[in-house]
Amino acid sequence: MENNSRREFLTKLGITVGAITVGKDIMHALPSTEFTQVKERRVTPRGTDHAEIVDFRYAPAKWQSTYCFPDDPYKSLVGRMGELLYGHPGIGADLDFFPYIVSIGLHGRDGGNYVVQKLELPAIPIITTQLEWDDVTLHLTSYATNDKDEGRVDNLLIEFRPKGKQGAQLTPEIIIKSTKKFVSKKEDDYGVVEMEGDVRKVFMVISVPGSEMAEEGMYRYQLPAGTATAEKPLKFFARFPQESQKYDKVKDRIEKPDALLLEARTFWQAWKPTAGKVDWKLASPHQEFLVACTRNILEAREIKNGKKIFQVGPTVYRGLWVIDGVSLLEAARYLGYDKEAQEGLESIWDLQNEKGAIFAGAGDAHWKDTAAAVYALIRQAELSQNWDFFKELYPDAFKGIMFLKDLRDKAYGNGTANGKYALLPQGFGDSGIGGIRSEYTNTLWALIALRALLEVADRFFLQKRTEIRDFYKDLRGAFFASRREEMRNHPKGFSYLPMLMKDDPQWQEKDERKQPRPQAAQIYMSQAIYPGLVFLKDDALVLGHIELMKAVTKEDLPIETGWLANEAVWPYNGAIVAQMYLFAGLPDLARKTFIGFLNHASPLYAWREEQSLLDAKTIQYIGDMPHNWASAECIRFLRHMMILEDEKNLRLFDGVGVADMNAMTPMGLTYSPTRWGRVTVTLDPVDKHNWHTKFIREDFDPNTMSKLIYVEMPRKLADTFYFDKITGAQAYRNGDRVLIPGEATTWECTWRSM
């Protein structure tokens, strides 16, 4: 793992919230990015609530997508305009710092206008881009191949078609934006562009030879002029060797773009988004998002030290973050990637130092990483129903908890707010709280880990559980005592707890827009509520947090919750809030928020970490794309809308909505891991008035798991279908819920519209 932290990355990137300082540097806002905001006409199907439609209405105007293979070390990316993006150095560099950008244009003309970009299918990352000029359209097809004889190659099909019946006389060109020097030559009947250096390296092989022209920071490779007609479009094929292959290695297939395209398609057609016995069936567009998000995650993953490491993204976050990793590993388990999730967990614990601390990409004051690693250790044991690795690492987990306790003890009475309250010391809050400051986020994650570890330690009668209980009791008591002084009143009439404490000098800024955002870093309060289960649902902290999230919602998501503090949104924070709403018994709000999250994706099913609102005066971005914490949260919500684990109950179908039922599509999860074993549940249409559910729970060990009290469902699905009959178990109606005793492992029920 590189020593750069997310904090260092943000420093180098040059962003801030107000006047937050990071280390000794003062970060400034990102410069505006130059591009055209395209407003596409949206059509809502008749009879459908517009709020239920996923039409990418809030998609960023600038995006990038991966089209490489699973675990591929060559993270091939294509931008919204069809440009190929190469050579990003990774963590610490600007998000747009690509040393090589390849685009296609016409000599003597401005760049083409965007028309559309699409995936062939969510499971097939063959990406087509269409640009246009007044008289001609350009169709680009980007895809990767990995033939055993020639190695990894990126491929670009280039096709110019006239708009009318008349032919178009054109002089196409391939433009390489780079400070590097290139030189071209003719080999056989092809063009070869090489990068100059100590040893010349083949950068591109093109199906026809052309002429070159170098400019400052730009290399133009002019293709032969020709006439594009409806019967005979102008076509070219460019290949980009990724493994420093020689020309002779890749030349033989330059005349076979269709065969190569079929090869890529065949690979992805054989690929499955799930593994083992696990399977998913959801209504559209949820199934498409599930598949694409899984592919995004696997394309960003890499093999390091013989283990498959789940990485947050392919560029600026091409590394391991523990908080992000908790969700990524859980999503991996939900998809059936048990072995890979275990390897990812081991990689996190490989980071533990001699003091018991775990630090990853977020830096060495991100105390919550240690707590999150402990929580992940427990959660992965629950889902696998195998506690061997947990028991092996329990001494390390205890050591990590004692590291946090030692931090708390040393900070007590040190003159800071954290020390005064006997909380974890000042640390890096992240998520909109930069620098080392008086904050709650690290303490909240310590409470999440302590609660989970204490429950397991008591269940297994583990040694030293008394020390865990005492620390949890003390820290929890200190936290609740502190909130009496730190709660704030909102102008809309509710109280809430900011993640940044009152003694922080930024609260004293006279300009309100320079003060901290009350909603900054509230992602950790959402996580403490669910899945952390630290608070009761009716606790004032929970109610205040919900009201705060509702109060700052725009574009269907809470806004200004992260680093971009002005007219911006952190999309996947919304997905986490949606799961918190679902847990809190607010399914309509949860679903609306989740659909808002989906609508902030690009049409290729990927998210940037943060982006400006559509009507923002200045357009800004932060973070990687595809950002796979977002991909993981999409998968997690889809799982939790069907199966959600409460503290003592297993909840089914809480997130199923009207659009799902209207689709009349069978839905279900097969062999989905839970803390109470593997669950298979279906929701199938019989006809327009009746639905049918089957439930099976299997492969569980009652000696190692907590007791399941009830399987719980709504009495009414999508405001239309009422719980009717059950066979194989006894059901109890309790208000608007149906309760089925947890010991019933196999049953069926029906739903009927009135």
SS (H, E, C) 352-386: CCCCCCCCCCCCCCCCHHHHHHHHHHHHHHHHHCC
Question: The pTM is what?
Answer: 0.93
How far apart (Å, rounded) are the C-alpha atoms in residues 571 and 577?
A: 10
Rounded to whole angstroms, how far apart are CA atoms 77 and 316?
13
Q: In the predicted model, is pLDDT for residue 173 greater than 90? A: yes
- Alpha carbon 20 to chain centroid distance? 26
| Number of CB atoms found within 10 A of residue 455's CB | 16
Q: What is the pLDDT of residues 401-416, one digit of tens each?
A: 999 999 999 999 899 9
Bridge partners (DSSP) listed for residue 721: 717, 753
DSSP 202: E
Between helix 628-642 and helix 286-300 the angle, nearest 10°, is 140
Residue with token string 């133009």: 220
With cut-offs at 50, 70 and 90, classify the pLDDT of residue 37. very low
3-state DSSP call for residue 631? helix
Domain 71-270 belongs to what topology? Beta-galactosidase; Chain A, domain 5 (2.70.98)
pLDDT (tens digit per residue) in 490-511: 999 999 999 999 999 999 999 8
Give CA–CA dist 503/33, Å, rounded. 36
How confident is the model over 565-585, as a mean pLDDT? 97
Mean pLDDT of the chain: 91
Could you give the C-alpha distances from 187 to 150, 183, 208, 248, 401, in angstroms and in order? Answer: 17, 13, 10, 10, 64
d(CA 92, CA 15): 13
Angle at 657 between CA 653 and CA 661, to 5 degrees: 95
Q: Is the pLDDT of residue 71 over 70?
A: yes
Domain chopping of the chain, boundaries: 71-270
Show the CA angle centred on residue 222, arms to residues 217 and 225, nearest 5°. 155
Phi, psi of 289 (to 5 degrees): -65, -40
On the CB side of 645, how many CA atoms lie within 13 Å of its CA?
20
The pLDDT tens digits for 725-747 are 999 999 999 999 999 999 999 99
Q: Across the strands, what pairs with 222? A: 173, 211
Q: Could you report how far apart the first and last alpha carbons of the chain are, in Å? A: 58
Give every strand in the sheet of 100-106, ordered side by side: 64-66, 77-79, 84-86, 100-106, 172-177, 218-222, 211-215
Q: What is the amino acid identity at position 157?
A: L
Whole-angstrom Cα distance, residue 680 to residue 670?
A: 4
Q: How far apart are CA 339 and CA 346, in angstroms?
A: 11
**What confidence tens digit (pLDDT) does each residue in 607-665 have?**
999 999 999 999 999 999 999 999 999 999 999 999 999 999 999 999 999 999 999 99
